[in-house]
Chain A
Amino acid sequence: MKRLVVVTLPLLLAIAAPASSAEDTLYQDMGGQPGIDRIADMSVDNYLADPRIKDIFSESNMERIRAELKDQFCVIADGPCRYTGHDMVATHKGLHLTNANFNALVEDLQAAMDSCNIPFATQNRFLARLAPMQHQVVTR
């Protein structure tokens, strides 16, 4: 009997306990760090292949952008990272980005998340956190 309790009690607790918030974050829903790294890499690949926006990156250090994007996506998704890159206003100053540029970046990110099989509703939870950056990034 005692043995039965020892075996079943943790099992019951495990079933009864709601998924803890730490496990239920957007970060997890996006596949953790491997998932986010893949999304960031595919997004950058899409940017560089997109005739609407590829010229924006002609002077950029793409390896640095890839690394900063991975950190930034991780932080935005509540992952255990620290973004140590440049702030958004400084990074985009002088690029004279338009709303159409910003939305092209969004569409390429959406395509990357599609390729990584991120469900649409999860994509929107992530995009909702990125959307206000329009105010800092778009200057034209």
Chain B
Amino acid sequence: MRLPFRALALYLGLAALASPALADALFDSGKLLATGGVSQVEGAGGGGLASWAMITGYGTRNGIGANLHYTAVPLPDYNLQTAGLAVGLYDRLELSYAWQGFDTQEVGGALGLGRGFVFHQNIFGAKLKILGDAVYDQDSPMPQIAVGLQHKENDRAAVIHAVGGRNSTGTDFYMAASKLFLAESLLVNATLRATKANQFGLLGFGGNKHNDYTVQFEGSAAYLFSRQLAAGVELRTRPSNLSVAHEGEAWDLFAAYFFNKNLSLTAAYADLGNIVIKNGQHGAYLSLQAGF
């Protein structure tokens, strides 16, 4: 976490020192409010569970945007936290890093891992916008399309193998399409993700039941109530690779409030279904993003 953050701060700091006017032009915060999205659960620009084709931050094609985020998902029997940073370069390329902690609380004790046993995961992401513009192309049905990957490294290889997972690292590949139907004040996203991840990778990759990549769907629809408030629903399907636990789709109802281009708060009711020995893992999803 430290190294990329310092490199980023150094780069941004140097650019700002070199010339305040140049920095203003480079960090232009020129996108319209909310069109940079928020930070999805794995740190990419998007919604909550679902990723978007938009490049994160408020930099236009002439500028650079960046943000930090913190997300908490306190579930009945687990606690998931994510913190990360992401940079959007020239509204073309997005680079992201996220750190996740998945606290098994009492379940860890019940499984013999120890009460409060925590899985950690580093997620390195990249996303490239390849076609279309979700906002400006209002005269065509063409969505904005981006391709991306998320490389995940889990620190609990021994436990992952013990529950039937095959790997502690894995890489997801996805293609996302996003379209703002501005006349209807509606934003729609659809993403196909090739993945082997169990519970987003928190329980490793591949398993004793299935060990191949499968293509999963994630989608969201949001209605814009104002320039500052969007609310909607998200769905994400997931593979069920482990014989010890069935993994189903996850969904949420969310509202995202954009105070300004520097701060947004997303609140959701998220249902992640069964996680290992506990059913009904649903609860609040809260995410704060700060950036430009």
**Chain A interface, number of residues (Cβ within 8 angstroms):** 21
CA A107 to CA B182, docked complex, whole Å? 15
Cβ B226 vs Cβ A120 within 8 A: yes
Cβ B224 vs Cβ A124 within 8 A: yes
Near B by CB (< 8 A), chain A positions 65-108 give 98-101, 103-104, 106-107
Residues from chain A with Cβ under 8 Å of B28 in the complex: 98, 100
Cβ A103 vs Cβ B31 within 8 A: yes
Q: In the complex, which residue of chain B has the Cβ closest to the Cβ of A101?
A: B30
A99-B61, A103-B60, A106-B32 given; A132·B182 CB < 8 A: no
Q: Is B155 an interface residue (CB 8 A)?
A: no
Q: Is A13 an interface residue (CB 8 A)?
A: no
Cβ A128 vs Cβ B225 within 8 A: no
Minimum CB–CB distance from B3 to chain A (whole Å) comes to 31
Residues from chain A with Cβ under 8 Å of B30 in the complex: 98-101, 103-104
Cβ B62 vs Cβ A100 within 8 A: yes
Q: Is A54 an interface residue (CB 8 A)?
A: no
The total number of A-B Cβ pairs within 8 Å is 58
| Contact for B227 among A120, A125, A129, A140, CB less than 8 A | A120
Looking at chain B's contact residues, the main secondary structure is loop
Q: Is A134 an interface residue (CB 8 A)?
A: yes
Residues from chain B with Cβ under 8 Å of A99 in the complex: 30-31, 60-62, 91
Q: Is A2 an interface residue (CB 8 A)?
A: no
| Contact for A124 among B31, B137, B183, CB less than 8 A | B183
Q: Is B63 an interface residue (CB 8 A)?
A: yes
User: Which has the most chain B C-beta neighbours within 10 Å: A99, A107, A110, A132?
Assistant: A99
| Contact for A127 among B63, B133, B139, B182, CB less than 8 A | B182
Q: Which residues of A contact B (CB under 8 A)?
A: 98-101, 103-104, 106-107, 110, 120-121, 124-125, 127-129, 131-132, 134-135, 140
Extra 7 A-B pairs, beta carbons < 8 Å, given A110-B227, A120-B226: A98-B60, A100-B29, A124-B185, A125-B183, A128-B182, A135-B136, A140-B62
Interchain Cβ contacts under 8 Å between A and B, 12 examples: A99-B62, A99-B91, A100-B60, A103-B32, A107-B32, A124-B183, A125-B182, A125-B183, A128-B183, A131-B137, A131-B138, A132-B139
